[in-house]
Structure 1
Amino acid sequence: MKIKLLLVEDHHIVRRGLVFFLKTREEFEIIGEAENGEEALCFVQKEKPNVVLMDVSMPKMDGIEATKRIKEYDETIKILMLSSFSEQDYVLPALEAGVDGYQLKEVQPEQLVASIIAVHQGNANFHPKVTPALLGRLAVKKEKENPFSMLTKREQEVLREIAKGRSNKEIAAELHITEQTVKTHVSNVLAKLEVDDRTQAALYAVKHGGN
């Protein structure tokens, strides 16, 4: 069974070039074309493409917003972003919107074919030049998943002592710092972990393995 494609590209010459090439491939059936995100959204509500080949920068509704809305309408539709831009300002919003792949317009024809097939099969596919943006996103995600990474080494030590049920005076003696310094660290810990008091901080530490 052929993969049903919707091509979304505001530049007529680029779109015609894609149509001309992809029609030569027996794997694909082009069931529609759109010049902007609004047209793409209307199309998917009437027909169901397997894969949408989506440009980023377009009038009326850009590819980011269109991706978001299409995924909200039917998350099973795969979206491969085809863009001229590899910068994080374009790649990260596309990822957040839910694209299944991100290729650059400089990609070789055979690689584009492979990318379309890959996303259709449920495999994420990204151009090598997009990798730095992906790594940056993963680093941020990892930091969010590990809340203790935002605490300084000393704040982590104070949190461990809080989890043991120790008072500020006891913590000061244990860490060889003043009681006032402990109070400052405790305030910082509560603020960074977004908890209201020491008890919540202690529970948070135990729950997330910070004790």
Structure 2
Amino acid sequence: MTNSASALVLDDHPLSASGIADFLLSHCGFGTARSVSNVAEFWVALDPAKPLSLAVVDFWLPDGASLSLLVELKQRCPTTRLLAISADDDAAVLDKVRLAGADGFLHKQESPEVFGRAVAALLQGDSWFHGGVKFAGREFPNKELPVTAAELGLTARQGQVLAMMLKGLPNKRIALNLSLSEQTVKEHVTGILERLDVRNRIEVITKLRGRRLE
């Protein structure tokens, strides 16, 4: 791929959006990749006169599902390849984004390598709707090495936050599940990134590949 490829990432969690944009630049050969955290910023950043090569859009946004955005984006920029992502385990999500005009769907629990292959497929004109999106009850291979929060230098609470990060849950969902404020969750996420010596969630997933957090 030449570095003329351009991308725009929409995820209402800036850390995730920035991590995906950085990955597109560093591992997928993109020349430009911007990240935005809300729909208004997305439309401002979009220039129909300079169509994007790829748009990565989170399925769930604060105002609800991004289906109407996907439909409008496909109408405005028919040549832009659309990749929807989500941490939702509902199998219906895949069909919904396909009908809305997405060219591919990827669960946030997939590995960076799979993300890279999906992006490459979309840029080649193919679609990416491989497999199902049901991750609940998924069995991890026995070769995965179990690791505890303490072994990673994390507190028990940070371990709980990390486990949910690895499932692709946003800060709001983590805060709700652990009965914490969103600000406290953000502080835990910052501490986890510092302890693991990584910059974003994508790098967390990459670093812990082959390990199972217990």
- The two structures have a TM-score, normalised by structure 1, of 0.55
CA RMSD of aligned residues (A): 2.2
* 1:72-122 deviation per Cα after TM superposition (whole angstroms, max 9, x unaligned): 112111101111124244222211111000001111111111101111111
Check the 8 A contact 1:71/1:98 in 2, yes or no: yes
Q: Distance in 2 between matches of 1:127 and 1:103?
A: 9
Match of 2:29 among 27, 37, 49: 27
1:10-25 aligned within 5 A: 10-25=12-27
Q: Distance in 2 between matches of 1:129 and 1:82?
A: 13
| Residue 7, structure 1, aligned to residue 9, structure 2 | yes
| Residue 76, structure 1, aligned to residue 82, structure 2 | no
Check the 8 A contact 1:36/1:60 in 2, yes or no: no
SS of equivalent to 2:125: coil
Q: Distance in 2 between matches of 1:13 and 1:83?
A: 15
Number of the residue aligned with 2:98: 95
CA gap of 1:23–1:57, structure 2 versus 1, over 3 A, is same
Amino acid at match of 1:91: L
Q: Distance in 2 between matches of 1:103 and 1:17?
A: 15
| Residue 124, structure 1, aligned to residue 127, structure 2 | yes
- The two structures have a TM-score, normalised by structure 2, of 0.55
Q: Distance in 1 between matches of 2:119 and 2:92?
A: 23
SS of equivalent to 1:33: strand
Shift of 1:10: 0.6
CA gap of 1:16–1:31, structure 2 versus 1, over 3 A, is closer
| Residue 55, structure 1, aligned to residue 58, structure 2 | yes
CA gap of 1:63–1:91, structure 2 versus 1, over 3 A, is same
SS of equivalent to 2:83: strand
Is the deviation greater in 54-63 or in 120-129?
54-63
Number of the residue aligned with 1:113: 116
- Between 1 and 2, higher relative CO (CA 8 Å, sep ≥ 6) is seen in 2
- Would you tell me which structure has more helix in proportion to its own residues? 1
Amino acid at match of 2:113: E
Check the 8 A contact 1:41/1:69 in 2, yes or no: no
SS of equivalent to 1:102: strand
The gaps in structure 2 that reach 5 residues or longer are 135-214
Shift of 1:39: 2.7
Check the 8 A contact 1:38/1:61 in 2, yes or no: no
Amino acid at match of 2:95: L
SS of equivalent to 1:28: coil
Check the 8 A contact 1:31/1:49 in 2, yes or no: no
CA gap of 1:61–1:32, structure 2 versus 1, over 3 A, is farther
SS of equivalent to 1:23: helix
- Report the structure number with the largest CA radius of gyration: 1
Amino acid at match of 1:24: S
Q: Distance in 1 between matches of 2:17 and 2:33?
A: 14
Amino acid at match of 1:129: G
Check the 8 A contact 2:21/2:34 in 1, yes or no: no
Identical-residue share of aligned pairs (%): 21
The count of residues paired between Structure 1 and Structure 2 equals 131
